[in-house]
Structure formats: C-alpha cells, structure tokens
Amino acid sequence: MAFEKTDETLAFLMRAFSEVLRTTGSDEVEQVLPWRSLWSDADAPDIRTIPESCAERCVQAYSLAFQLLNQAEENATAQLRRLAEDRGDLVEESGSWDHTIARAVAQGLEEADVAEGLATIRVEPVLTAHPTEAKRQTVLEHHRALYRLLVELENSMWTRGERADLEAEVRACIERLWRTGEIYLEKPELRDERRMVLHYLRNIFPRVLPRTEQRLRHAWSRAGFDPKRLEDPSARPRVSFGNWVGGDRDGHPGVTASVTRQTLEEFRQAALQLVDEGLKELAIELSLSSFRQNAPAPLMERIRVWSERLCEPGRRAIERNRDEPWRQWVNLLRAALPFEKRPPAGSFRRVSELVEQLEFSRDQLERIGAGRLARNDVLPVIVQLRTFGFHLATVDMRQNSSFHDEAIQQLAVLAGIDDAENYLDWSAEERRSFLERELKTRRPFVRSRDVTGDHARAVVDLFHVLSEHLELHGDDGLGGLIVSMTRNTEDLLGVYVLAREGGLIRYEEGEPVLPLPVVPLFETIDDLEAAPDILEDYLCHPVVLRSLEWQRRRRGEPLPVQQVMVGYSDSSKDGGIVASMWSLRRAQRRLAEVAERHGVRVRFFHGRGGTIGRGAGPTHRFVRALPPNTVRADLRITEQGETIRQKYANLVTASHHLELLSAGTLGAWLSDRGGREDPEELVHSMERLAQSSRRAYEDLVQGPGFVEFFENATPIDAIEVSRIGSRPSRRKGARSLDNLRAIPWVFAWNQSRFVLPGWYGLGAGLTELADQDPARFERLVESKRERSRWAPFHYLISNAASAFSTASLEIMERYAALASDLSHAEHIFERIRTEYERTGSMLERIYGGPLAETRPRVCQLIERRSIALKPLHHHQIALLRQWRQREEDDREELVPRLLVTVNAIASGLGVTG
C-alpha cells in the first residue's frame, strides 16, 4: 500500500515537473525524465547516458526528480501512519508509543511502572552542521513549501476549483526549484549554518513538541491508562536540544571566541522572543473579565507588587486591560523578560523564576474553577519553557586534544617554565605532575592581555566568553567542553588548567571546581579500548569529583553525572562496521560499570552520522541495540547534516522522529528494569566476528596502493572542492587517510556506489565463523530470525543488508576503471568484488533467501533509485576522467558541472556522508 501511495503522489509530481519543463523551453530535458511509465503514456526511453547537448540541465532535472520522489515517499509514510492510528494499528508499528507501551504491558508491567519511566526520560537531539547538507537554505525552504502543499492536497474538503489552484501552486513551486538550482556557488559561512539551525530550533521544534506530546497522550489513552497521570509536564518525557554550530572548533579555524559569543547571544535572543510570543498569546487567551469572576486576592496583590517592582515598564503593562487582571498579570511577566545583556532590576534572571510565576498563574485559575484554561493555555507555555528556557539550545564546545596541548605549551613557554618548549614530548607522568601542580594555584601562567600564540589565545578567549556568559546568565545555555581524540586523563585535566587561565574555574572552600562538564570523546577503536581505564583514572582525581558534585547540586541530580561521548564515524573508518559496532558496545558497557563503582552515572552522548557507515540506522532499532544499563532513561544524540532536513523539515515527520527517540528511550529503561542482559554465547560469537571482520577490513585499507585507489576510484577530489559545508574535509590538510575526516570518506564511497564502510568485512567474518564453528554461527543466525531478536545482531545485519543492497557491482566497476593505470588497482578491486559476493552469500543464508525476496520493501526503494542513478554515475565518471586529465589551471570551469553530479547522486541516494 505504501508503494501505491508513493506511485500516485510521484506520478502527480512528475507530471507537474514535465509540464514545467515543456512550458519553460526544456523539451529535450523533459524527454529523459525518469519513471515516465508512472505519468506518461509514451514509452519510457532507455536512458543509458545523459545527452551532451543538455547534460547539465538533465543532471539538475534528475536531482530535482529525486527530491520529488523523497517528498512522495515521506508523504506516503505519513499518510499511512495516520490511517494506522485511525484504525488502531499503531501498536504494530515498531518504535511507536503504542508499540512500546503494549510491550511493557505484555512484560507484566503496571501503569504506574510505565508512568515512572515516562517521568524519568530525558532526550536531547544535538544539531550539528558537518559538511553533509548539499542543499542551499533557499532550496530547503522551497521544498518545505512543496511538502506543505502535498499535505493540503490530502484534504478531501477542497472543491475542484480549490484543488486546481493548489495543483497550480505545486507547479509554481517546482518551477522555482528548477530555476533556482541546488548547489552552493560559494562555500557557506558559519552564519549560514547557524541560520539553518536557528530555523529548526525557533520555528520547527516549538510547533513539533505539542504534536509529540499529543501523540503520547492518545497512545496512553488507547492503552486504557488514566490520562490524568500525564497532565503535569513533569510526568512526561523531558525533551531539550543541543547545538554544535558556533561551538565546535575541532579543525575549524572559523569558529572563534567572538563567533561563540555571538552564537550564545543569538540563541538567547531567539529564545526570549519565543517566550515573549508565547506570553503574548497567553495574554490574549486569558481575557477573563473581573465582571464575570472575581480575581483571587493573591493575584491582585502580586499584580500590585510586580507593577511597582518593574517601575515604568510595570506601569505600562497594567495601564491597559484594567478589567482583565489575568491579562495584566501576563503582561507584567512579559515586561520582566531579560532581553538586555545586563537586565534592569526586577527582571527575571533565570527561567525557573518565570516558571514559578506561571505555576502561580495555574493555581489562581484553578481557584476560580478554570482548570481547563490552566491546562490548555498556561501549561503549554510551561512545557515550552522547560524545553527552550532562555537559551533555546545548549551550545557544546569541542576542541581536539592536540590543540589543547599546543595551547598549554605556548602558555607554559610564556610563563618561563623549564623545558616548556618540549611539552609536547613530555611523558604522561611528566604532564600529570605539571598539571596537578598548576591546579593547586590560582595564579594564571600570564596576564590575559599578555597571551600570545594562536592556540593559547583561541582557548583563553573562549573560556573568557564562557565565564562572562556564566556570570550574566547562568549555565543553562552552556553545554559540555568536549575533548575529541581523548587519549589519556592528562588530555582532560589540561582543560581544567586552561579553564583557570580563562577565568572559568570557580572556587569552593578554596578548592577549584569547573562549572561545565568536561566530556571525553572516544572515537577510534584503540581509544574505545582504552576508554574504561581512562575514565577509571579520571574519576579518581579530586578536582574532577569536586566539579561533578558541584554540577550535581546545580542540576538537582540524585548522582553525579559524567558525560562521555562515543564516536561512530572514526571507529568505523578504522576497523569496519562490525568491529566499530562491537567496540562501541563493549566500551559503553565497561564505562558504565566503571562509573557505577565510583558512584557516578555516565550520560552517553552518541555521535552518529547520517549514513550506515557512520552509525546511522533506524532510530528505534539503534536505541534498542544499545547495551543493557547504559541508556538510563537519558539519550543524547547528534543529528548531522542532511539528516536534520530528512527528519525534521516537516512537522509530521519531525513529530514521528521525536516519538521514536522518546519511546525508544522508554523501551530501553523498561527493558533494563526487567533485567535485560546479553546472552553470553552470543557475546562470544560477536567477539570473534568483530575480530575476523576487522582483520579483513584492515588488510584491505592498510594494503599497498589502497589510498591511491580510493583517491582515483571515488570522486573524493570533487567532494573536497565542493561548497557543501564551512568545515575543511581534512583535519590538518595532509593527504593521508588518517587526516581525512570520516564524512568525506563515507561520502566518496557512497557516490561511487561501493558503499564500502557499510558492509565490508562482514562477509569474511561470517564465513570464518561458519567454517570454524558452525554451531555458534547457526545460533547467531537464529537470534536474528527469532521473534524476540537479539537487538545488536539484528541491527548490525539489517543495516549491513541495506548498505549492501545500495552498493552496485556494475557501477563500482566503472569507477574502479578510473584507477586502471595504478599497478595495485586491479588486485584491490578484485578483493572488493570477492568480499561483496561473499557478503551477499552470507546475507542470503541469514535471511533465508535473496534479499530482493526477503526484504522486498527496502530493495524496491533502492531499485527505483538505482534505475535513475545509472546515467548520472556514467556522466560523473566521464566528467571526472576529463577533469583529472586537465592541467590544474584549466580545471575550474568543470567544477560546477562536477558538483551538480555530486548533488544529484546524493539526492538519489538520500545521503551524503
């Protein structure tokens, strides 16, 4: 049914696109549009190559056609989900509230148990702007408008004339997209990325959250539970948002202290405007006349006190609406919003103060019997404040450990410390001794104005900005101090010393404490292996324990909380998908155990990318596959690049994804409460599978000639000159695999349809296990087929199967031919072909037949795209060959044409990196 609905919508959109092309003089392009059989009686041409006479326009047309397909699929999914809800069938939809609650009931849990879990849940998507969003902001706005029109057309109330007008608007929208073009002509700046993130935080999520909570309440009632349990906001899951744009400076020289200051201020102003709009609407709603009911005495007294407290703004707030005391009261609250950097006396300092006054407003409405208005009008404002506060989203600060080392060295040299110029070569013991000595003194290395050295200046200036913000506005808008490539405890203690230098350290009873969490980021497989020992050592340090306790009291947590970020990208780039997944799972389990021994709770922050090779996959399956006792009802997770658009651009889809995150977190909490554990025999099998698959993967990527093969058999060079994101594609600019970021690594393999990071090594690992221990292999396969599947293996195999199905041996062979002049190319491609065939064979054994038959929905989705992608790949290969044969000075004219193909193929695949 989903395919029928998609076909119906796609046929309408492609018919409209065809008309736009004909009426704008692009008949030749119109003749080669894909999927003609859906919307045209004419025979579909056999498109093998793009006509050279209109090549660039054809590629753009295909790119737009893929976007129309994406819109059709998204609309079909949303409409079918609505039908399922109407029929009461959502209980069958894995990951939904209905399904999660039904599973809890089936496990024998009572309503009170589920309610306890709901009140505990905390979910925080963190928006990042990694260079993976290939579409301009203007184009994204046009796509949103088009989707809204599709939703309107689903309404059966329209007359024929009204429907014709809507269809004409669709054609106009498609023409705008066709005439605009999709690629960045100039590299986007940070302000562009910040504007994109602000759009979601300011305009989308405030409208999405009420829908998400509404879906929860409906599912709760359908389960036969008491709806009154969920009336109080504290009884429902807590959703908040994080952000990296303007704070993430790892390898990004454009993120300066002034950029971070501006980001924090823009977010604060946007949040306050959001609050003001909510209060303005509330004032209109609470137009209760004193002639119809007497205002309670406490309300009138508070109006008097606050109008005097706010002086002239208070007088202006109550001079109108004299017979509407509730409206006067809300206008006083508006007058007390702290828009200024240094707000005047009487203004709110913290969002908790405003929440307290709104709770008072609820009580006063309850006193006159207006409980319905308290729930419908006041509660939504309180819920919005719990989510967005006066800060909109917490801004994380991320920096590489090596950058901090450079900063410390520069400061120590300025201070005249012996041998400081060799700090980077000191042993871990020497660094530890030095850092601990420094933490015992309040004096900085040098006065702030005397700091020189790029690294030292950048770090000290940042911490000055954070300290100032902390003093003025508190820590609500400040996230963690994330240390990427954490190698040892000294990398983390160094942050405390640098924080002292920037005035961020506070002192309690003469001892230093850091108000913001220091967050180790473990990314490579080796770092993940070392992570538990690093955390064990770190949690033994007095300054760490004091800081965690200070933060616990500030947040009102029952236990100190240590945030730990785990990266899904570099570990996959290091050792392949199987070793990455298992290393991450093993590390999380051990890290949680270490923290528990110290009386600390770990809050895991999952740094997932937008593709399977970087940790992506269905949200509900991802959460379900996390290790036992590691979620603890608290999920923090990145949303990167194009996944932000895919998940959150449209309200219905955005609400669904927030539901998947929240319901998945509840499901993990309930499972852990029920004593969930991993079967030991399956754990042992996965250990062996991870080891053997890693060997196969490393034998390939570390072999002779592989880097050259990668650079020739993929469009990595075209991707590196693209204008997709503001961040450089390499950490230090060096032409090596180690310095290449995981995003362009995955992006390049996807573009050339190898999709290698998503499946390579799995076939070798499964084959070795099946040959050496058939019984263990069969038990592992059974765990995938059983109704009560073992989530980690199910997640791994389903993701790898999707990646494998997206790969195309025919297309990758054509890209490999670009490297035909390299001596190792033929040998490398033959190894890839062998592993591809081996992986396909093993997946068929696991699924019990060909993937096209056992996973028809996924394979049909991919096949529809593959047909239209083929001519694009052929055209890109021809352009790459032409581009690479030219002299450096003569290449520039081909860049826009190449980037159009990169964008079109990304649109067709639905992913970049």
Q: Which residues fall within 8 angstroms of residue 209, CB to CB, at 6 or more apart? A: 239, 383, 384, 387, 658
Q: Which residues pair with 239 in a beta bridge?
A: 123
Residue 593 to residue 601: CA distance in whole angstroms: 9
Residue 519 carries which DSSP code?
E
**pLDDT at residue 131 in the model:** 47
Residue 18 to residue 170: CA distance in whole angstroms: 12
CA distances (Å), 766 to each of 86, 416, 434, 620, 790, in order? 43, 58, 49, 25, 17
Q: Give the burial string for 300-311 (b: 16+ CB within 10 Å, else e).
A: bebbeebbebbe
Residue 646 to residue 73: CA distance in whole angstroms: 11
Identify whether the C-beta of residue 176 lies closer than 8 Å to the C-beta of residue 142: yes
Residue 43 carries which DSSP code?
P
Q: Which residues fall within 8 angstroms of residue 906, CB to CB, at 6 or more apart? A: 134, 642, 747, 750, 751, 912
pLDDT in tens, 433-450: 999 999 999 999 999 888
Identify whether the C-beta of residue 275 lies closer than 8 Å to the C-beta of residue 348: no
pLDDT in tens, 271-323: 999 999 999 999 999 999 888 888 899 999 999 999 999 999 999 988 888 88
CA nearest neighbour of 354 among 298, 276, 286 = 276
756 burial level (CB within 10 Å; 0-12, 13-18, 19+): buried
**Poorest-confidence range of 6-20, 25-39, 493-507, 719-733?**
719-733
Identify whether the C-beta of residue 598 lies closer than 8 Å to the C-beta of residue 633: no
**pLDDT at residue 134 in the model:** 47
pLDDT in tens, 373-425: 999 999 999 999 999 999 999 999 999 999 999 999 999 999 999 999 999 99
pLDDT in tens, 817-862: 998 777 789 999 999 999 999 999 999 999 999 999 999 999 999 9
**pLDDT at residue 185 in the model:** 52
Q: Which of 130, 135, 143, 606 is catalytic?
A: 130
**Mean pLDDT computed over every residue of the chain:** 91
CA nearest neighbour of 593 among 632, 633, 550 = 632
For CA atoms 309, 315, 321, 323, the dihedral sign is positive
pLDDT of residue 913 exceeding 60, the answer is no
CA nearest neighbour of 481 among 394, 398, 576 = 398
Residue 107 to residue 97: CA distance in whole angstroms: 15
Residue 228 known to be catalytic: no
Mean pLDDT of 560-568: 96
Residue 740 carries which DSSP code?
B
Residue 545 to residue 496: CA distance in whole angstroms: 13
Structure token digits, residue 575: 């050792």
Residue 165 to residue 162: CA distance in whole angstroms: 5
Residue 671 to residue 659: CA distance in whole angstroms: 18
Amino acid identity, residue 71? Answer: Q
Q: Which residues fall within 8 angstroms of residue 867, CB to CB, at 6 or more apart? A: 34, 35
Residue 909 to residue 359: CA distance in whole angstroms: 49
Residue 777 to residue 756: CA distance in whole angstroms: 24
Residue 7 to residue 69: CA distance in whole angstroms: 9
449: three-class secondary structure by DSSP: helix
pLDDT of residue 739 exceeding 70, the answer is no
**pLDDT at residue 3 in the model:** 81
CA nearest neighbour of 818 among 729, 733, 888, 754 = 754
Identify whether the C-beta of residue 49 lies closer than 8 Å to the C-beta of residue 875: yes
Mean pLDDT of 490-496: 98
The counts of H helices and E strands in the chain are 39, 11
Mean pLDDT of 349-362: 96
Q: Which of 573, 598, 656, 875 is catalytic?
A: 573
pLDDT in tens, 117-159: 999 999 999 999 754 444 566 787 888 899 999 999 998 899 9
Most confident of 42-56, 75-89, 321-335, 682-696: 682-696
Pairing of strands 506-508, 511-513: antiparallel
Mean pLDDT of 164-183: 90
Mean pLDDT of 193-214: 93
How much of the chain, in percent, has pLDDT values that exceed 70?
A: 95
Identify whether the C-beta of residue 383 lies closer than 8 Å to the C-beta of residue 233: yes
Residue 806 to residue 861: CA distance in whole angstroms: 10
128: three-class secondary structure by DSSP: strand
Residue 135 to residue 640: CA distance in whole angstroms: 14
476: three-class secondary structure by DSSP: coil
Residue 213 to residue 205: CA distance in whole angstroms: 12
Q: Please tell me the total number of residues recorded for the chain in this structure.
A: 913
160: three-class secondary structure by DSSP: helix
pTM: 0.93
pLDDT in tens, 356-373: 999 999 999 999 999 999
In this prediction, residue 728 has a pLDDT band, given cuts at 50, 70 and 90, of: low
350: three-class secondary structure by DSSP: coil
pLDDT of residue 891 exceeding 90, the answer is no
Alpha carbons within 13 A on the beta-carbon side of 161: 0
Residue 573 known to be catalytic: yes
Q: Give the burial string for 662-672 (b: 16+ CB within 10 Å, else e).
A: bbbbbbbbbbb
Rg of the chain (C-alpha set): 29
Amino acid identity, residue 35? Answer: W
pLDDT of residue 794 exceeding 80, the answer is yes
